[in-house]
Amino acid sequence: MKGLIRKRPVAIFVLLLLMLFVTVMASALVGSPGVDISFPRVIGIIFSGLPGIGKMLPEYSGTDVIIIRQIRLPRILLGVLGGIALSISGTSMQGIFKNPMASPFILGVSAGAAFGAAASVVLGLGMYTLPAVAFVSAMGTALLVFGLGRIHGKTDVATLLLAGLAVNFLMQSLTAYLIYLSPPEKRTSIIFWMWGSFNGTVWQEFWIVLPVVIIGMIIVYVFSRELNVLQLGDESALYLGVEVEKTKIVLLGASSLLAAVVVSFTGIIGFVGLIIPHATRIITGPDHKKLLPTAAIIGGIFMVLCDTISRASGEIPIGIITGLFGAPFFIYLLLRSRGETGW
Amino acid sequence: MVNLAVKKMYAGYGQKEVLKNINMTVKHGDFLGVIGPNGCGKSTLIRAITGVVDTYKGNILLGGSSIKEMNRKDIATKVAVVPQNTFIGFPFTTWEVVLMGRNPYTHRFESLKEEDYERANRAVKITKTEKLKERRVNTLSGGELQRVVIARAIAQDPKLLLLDEATSHLDIGYKVEMMDMIKKMNREEGITVISVHHNLDIAARYCDKLVLIDNGRIRTMGEPEAVLTPGHLRAVYGIEAEVHENPRDGTLYISPIDHKEIERTYKERIHVICGGGTGRKLLKALVDAGYGVSTGVLNAMDTDLRRAEFLDIDVVAEAPFSPIGDEKESENMEKIMGAETVILTDFPVGSGNLNNMKAGLKALKAGKEVILMDLIDISKRDYTGGKAEKLYLEMIENGAKIATSVKDVLAQIG
């Protein structure tokens, strides 16, 4: 089975794309408790809304059209983007750090975003400025860690890891302090934001996130061979013609950007960026040319599934779901493949 | 044709200058060894040649062009490096790792070409790693992994191969196999090799030329015979050593000498009558214990003689394949008379060295303490038809003591 997967990566990729499509469709069927729309009607509403083939289908109307097209679809598709972005970011981080314990949040992106979000809630900034403030704070934090992690013009991953740890704690403490200072209702909304949610996603958000994710994805993929060679160690990578410093800067930048743009809109969603690369590596092996695209699709599927559970359960925050459902699945994968992959 | 030229180079890490005023040229097809004590800058030299450390002054020319003007991919198509250890983060297969050697030849937006697979295939053939192709590198032994890393370096098609203590942690079997393979590539394909060694014997055996680095500077450079001299070893490594020529192929090897032997003070004199290797351990033990030792008569081809010479012991030697003559016998008796104790090991006795047994008896009669080592029974090493055994029994009758081991000997004389 595993040999087959390693030898036919393209077939697996197509199969996974198909699974993603089915997951998206199935997810559109599932609503908040009490809202039931029939399967053919959901499919009809989705396809009639598409440009081109939409004209060939009958017109739909009613509140369920709004529910499907304006509420469920943007949310599901942002979920796909979020899953893709966090998985790619996590894969790239694990590659740069040569460590399967690395996550997209190693440079303090999530802690920075949380601080920005908490600050905007406390200051009473509007709904639309929150993601912007969170994003600026996330990237600012990442830049700070990156600056601290550079010695003599070289990026040392061990130093970077420790700098990230310290800055993460600093930002978390600042956020906790803001929560401590806030009145109860603001506390609740900060804490809820920190648990993550796709609830209330509008198309506009999707269209903002989409180009950033596409650009980030392409950048990381273009450096996939360098990511492979980096696994032999920085010095060996230099001997093999890799501009190690440049590669690290570009990849750290792209990975932080991917993670920051997602969490700024959705709140912190942990686990995905840590676990999906790892789980995918069990299937595809460590070659980033196969690993990156496969992890992206698996991440998308996983995120949509978790968000569907969140929706069906009356909006339990997705950050809770990803850990609650992802961890046992991951443990299963780990036990099954123990000793085979070296991790 | 000059392959590599280093001119007045100073190099190091940030503020720390490690190499000073390095000048060397390496010709196409050379096999150069770099030796020197820990921390002298050997590895830094390898890094400087590939441009991965800071060079403050001077210049490094690779195939005529300065490495400062070359990008990493240019350098990687000319130079490959095999480090001492490679830790590979994720479980790639051997084949994936070997193909990484083609990275310098692959454009960012390109996939690997037919030629890349051919070169990688050739590399696994040369290194005999074909069977490991599908194995994941985390399941390989240290020796296998190092072969894979070499295969990767060969796949790089380098003009210059740099080995940074590449065989240090391998067992002697892998060490020799690997160096043989690299020597073969050096001979047959003209790949220039520069290899850093801790093991001076391996360096002397494989390298045509050696560079001895001491404290960041080149101490000397040249043929192994000119570099590996006791004087250089003393000055750079701080050891007293003897340099020997391997009788088999003429390569050099180093034997460090115990400090005890240098500063010995004599307790009393002991004369050892031995032969055929039976005295090897005893001679060393006596010298270590601080006795003044003499030995004889030994045949010039005897292994005990070589040991005695290494230990700087006073020896009476007879010409090869000759029975002990009168001249040597009287010389031997002089040594015996100058000693307090005479020890006879359990050497085989034939007509040629029967006189040695007689000397033992004479010593006894002259009042010397005589100890007979008796690990092998006299009847089993007597090739004189009983003459030796008779002398042996006569010695015992006259008060010779018997010892059953080297330790026993030391106990009896101490």
pLDDT tens digits along B45-76 = 999 999 888 888 888 998 888 888 899 999 99
Given CB atoms, is A313 within the 8 Å cutoff of chain B?
Answer: no
Per-residue pLDDT tens digits for B379-389: 889 998 889 99
Looking only at the bridges linking them, the beta strands covering B252-256 and B241-245 are antiparallel
> What pLDDT, on a 0 to 100 scale, did the predictor assign at position A88?
97
> Per the structure block, which two tokens stand in for A298?
């698996």
Judge whether residue B96 has pLDDT over 80: yes
Distance CA A108, CA A138 (A): 7
> What pLDDT, on a 0 to 100 scale, did the predictor assign at position A73?
92
Distance CA A223, CA A231 (A): 13
Judge whether residue A6 has pLDDT over 50: yes
Judge whether residue A337 has pLDDT over 60: yes
- Neighboring chain A residues of B72 at a CB cutoff of 8 Å: 238, 241-243
Per-residue pLDDT tens digits for A89-141: 999 999 998 888 888 888 889 999 999 999 998 888 876 788 899 999 999 99
B124 CA to chain A: closest CA distance, Å?
17
Q: Where are the beta strands (DSSP E) in B111-207?
A: 160-164, 192-196
- Is the four-CA dihedral A97, A101, A104, A110 of positive or negative sign? negative
Interchain pair A287, B73: CB under 8 A: no
Q: Report if residue B245 sits inside a domain.
A: no
Across-strand partners of B16? B13
Q: Which domain holds residue B367?
A: 260-413
> What pLDDT, on a 0 to 100 scale, did the predictor assign at position B13?
87
Interchain pair B90, A281: CB under 8 A: yes
A42 — pLDDT class (breaks 50, 70, 90): confident
Per-residue pLDDT tens digits for B133-168: 999 998 998 889 999 999 999 999 999 999 998 888
Interchain pair B104, A341: CB under 8 A: no
Distance CA B333, CA B320 (A): 20
Distance CA A124, CA B100 (A): 53
- What value does the CA radius of gyration of chain B take, rounded to a whole number of Å? 30
CA torsion, ordered A3, A6, A7, A10, to nearest 10 deg: 140
> Per the structure block, which two tokens stand in for B160?
């210059």
Check residues B119 and B107 and name the one with the higher pLDDT.
B119
- Neighboring chain A residues of B145 at a CB cutoff of 8 Å: none
| Statement to judge: residues B148 and B282 lie in one domain | no
Given CB atoms, is A188 within the 8 Å cutoff of chain B?
Answer: no
Amino acid, res. A259: A
Q: Residue A79: which of A319, A292, A326, A329 has the closest Cα? A: A319
Q: Give me the phi and psi of B166, to 5 degrees please.
A: -65, -20
> What pLDDT, on a 0 to 100 scale, did the predictor assign at position B194?
95
> What pLDDT, on a 0 to 100 scale, did the predictor assign at position A165?
92
How confident is the model over A309-336, as a mean pLDDT?
85
Amino acid, res. B263: E
- Domain closes at, from B204, B227, B250: B227
Q: Report if residue B250 sits inside a domain.
A: no
Judge whether residue B121 has pLDDT over 90: yes
| Statement to judge: residues B308 and B383 lie in one domain | yes
Judge whether residue B113 has pLDDT over 80: yes
Judge whether residue A271 has pLDDT over 70: yes
- Among B191-195, B260-264, B371-375, the range scoring the smallest mean pLDDT is B260-264
A33 — pLDDT class (breaks 50, 70, 90): low
Judge whether residue A1 has pLDDT over 50: no
B266 — pLDDT class (breaks 50, 70, 90): low
Q: What percentage of chain B has pLDDT greater than the value 90?
A: 42
In the block, residue with structure tokens 């990026």: A155
Provide the domain count of chain B. Answer: 2
Residues in chain A, total: 343
Q: What percentage of chain A has pLDDT greater than the value 70?
A: 95
Distance CA B193, CA B182 (A): 8
CA torsion, ordered B236, B238, B240, B241, to nearest 10 deg: -40
A254 — pLDDT class (breaks 50, 70, 90): very high
Looking only at the bridges linking them, the beta strands covering B341-344 and B314-318 are unpaired
> Per the structure block, which two tokens stand in for A89?
């970011």
Given CB atoms, is B218 within the 8 Å cutoff of chain A?
Answer: no
B352 — pLDDT class (breaks 50, 70, 90): confident
| Statement to judge: residues B220 and B285 lie in one domain | no
Q: What order do you get walking across the sheet with B192-196 strand by strand?
A: B79-82, B160-164, B192-196, B31-35, B209-214, B217-222
> What pLDDT, on a 0 to 100 scale, did the predictor assign at position B286?
87
Strand, helix or coil for residue B151 = helix
- Rank A27-41, A289-303, B336-350, B352-366 by mean pLDDT and report only the highest: A289-303
Per-residue pLDDT tens digits for B274-293: 988 899 889 888 888 878 88
| Statement to judge: residues B189 and B270 lie in one domain | no
Q: Indicate the average pLDDT of chain B.
A: 88
Quick one: A145 exposed, middle or buried, by C-beta within 10 A (0-12, 13-18, 19+)?
buried
CA torsion, ordered A187, A188, A189, A195, to nearest 10 deg: 110
**Which of A99, A233, A286 is facing B91, going by the closest CB pair?**
A286
Q: Is B94 in contact with B134 (CB distance < 8 Å)?
A: yes
| Statement to judge: residues B76 and B152 lie in one domain | yes
A343 — pLDDT class (breaks 50, 70, 90): very low
| Statement to judge: residues B285 and B328 lie in one domain | yes
B1 — pLDDT class (breaks 50, 70, 90): low
- Residue B123: give its domain's CATH number: 3.40.50.300
A342 — pLDDT class (breaks 50, 70, 90): very low
A92 CA to chain B: closest CA distance, Å?
13
In the block, residue with structure tokens 């009958």: A58
A309 — pLDDT class (breaks 50, 70, 90): very high
> What pLDDT, on a 0 to 100 scale, did the predictor assign at position A22?
94
Per-residue pLDDT tens digits for A156-212: 888 888 999 999 999 999 999 999 999 998 898 898 888 999 988 889 999 999 999
Quick one: B194 exposed, middle or buried, by C-beta within 10 A (0-12, 13-18, 19+)?
buried
> What pLDDT, on a 0 to 100 scale, did the predictor assign at position B135?
93
Q: Is A283 in contact with A2 (CB distance < 8 Å)?
A: yes
Number of Cβ within a 10 Å radius of residue B257: 15
Across-strand partners of B214? B217
| Statement to judge: residues B223 and B272 lie in one domain | no
| Statement to judge: residues B157 and B289 lie in one domain | no
Amino acid, res. B347: F
- Residue B346: give its domain's CATH number: 3.40.50.720
Q: Report if residue B288 sits inside a domain.
A: yes
Q: Report if residue B246 sits inside a domain.
A: no
Interchain pair B72, A243: CB under 8 A: yes
CATH class of segment(s) A2-29+68-337:
mainly alpha
Give DSSP secondary structure letters for A39-66.
Answer: HHHHHHHHHHTSTTGGGGSPP--SHHHH
Closest residue in chain B to residue A339, using alpha carbons only: B139
**Angle, CA A97 vertex, CA A9 and CA A263 arms, to 5°:** 80
| Statement to judge: residues B43 and B135 lie in one domain | yes
Interchain pair A98, B76: CB under 8 A: no
| Statement to judge: residues B33 and B173 lie in one domain | yes
Strand, helix or coil for residue A269 = coil
A335 — pLDDT class (breaks 50, 70, 90): confident
- Neighboring chain B residues of A240 at a CB cutoff of 8 Å: 76, 100-101, 103-104, 156
Judge whether residue A300 has pLDDT over 60: yes
How confident is the model over A291-299, as a mean pLDDT?
96
How confident is the model over A289-305, as a mean pLDDT?
95
B149 CA to chain A: closest CA distance, Å?
10
Distance CA A80, CA A230 (A): 29
Q: Residue A6: which of A277, A273, A291 has the closest Cα? A: A291
Check residues A35 and A48 and name the one with the higher pLDDT.
A48
Q: Report if residue B308 sits inside a domain.
A: yes
> What pLDDT, on a 0 to 100 scale, did the predictor assign at position B157?
93
> What pLDDT, on a 0 to 100 scale, did the predictor assign at position B267?
67
Q: Give me the phi and psi of B299, to 5 degrees please.
A: -70, 145
Distance CA B66, CA B5 (A): 9
> Per the structure block, which two tokens stand in for A154?
């070289």
**Which residues 6+ apart lie within 8 Å of A30 measured at CB?**
A308, A311, A312
| Statement to judge: residues B145 and B267 lie in one domain | no
Interchain pair B103, A241: CB under 8 A: yes
- Neighboring chain A residues of B79 at a CB cutoff of 8 Å: 239
Q: Residue A46: which of A62, A19, A70, A69 has the closest Cα? A: A69
Distance CA A104, CA B16 (A): 35
Distance CA A275, CA A281 (A): 10
